[in-house]
Amino acid sequence: MSAIMDAAFETYHAMRADFEHYRHSRFVRAHTDLRGELLNATGRAAHIDPHSLFLGPQARVNRYASEELKAWFAEHGRLTVKEFEAQWWNGYSDGFGLQVIAALAETA
């Protein structure tokens, strides 16, 4: 593979690793804040993994998230991979790198 493609894949993998760290941090924060009340009755009955609500489409949140989690997302935000990537890239190219990611994960 070319050096350009290698660098692109390496950059993408770094962004995805940072996104997973961000997503997990947000999950832990919401789980703590809401005392584990992340799913509604439909989500519990369907055995939905609540962690998936921090990645999947908004329709999944609308269907399976508790009212408390929906309110938590309204207050604290819920970045999609695409939104995270844009913010990550701007921070990365501005030289802030992981500082930007850490701030995103801690923002509430």
Burial class of residue 96 in the structure, from the number of CB atoms within 10 Å of its CB (0-12 exposed, 13-18 middle, 19+ buried): middle
Predicted confidence at residue 23, as pLDDT, reads: 94
pLDDT per residue rounded down to tens, the chain (108 residues): 789 898 889 999 999 999 999 999 999 999 999 999 999 999 999 999 999 999 989 999 999 999 999 999 999 999 989 999 998 888 865 555 555 556 655 654
Q: What is the DSSP letter of 65?
A: B
Distance between CA atoms of residues 12 and 8, nearest Å: 6
Predicted confidence at residue 2, as pLDDT, reads: 87
Predicted confidence at residue 105, as pLDDT, reads: 58
DSSP letters for 3-46: HHHHHHHHHHHHHHHHHHHHHHHHHHHHHHHTTT--B-HHHHHT
pTM for this one?
Answer: 0.79
Predicted confidence at residue 1, as pLDDT, reads: 72
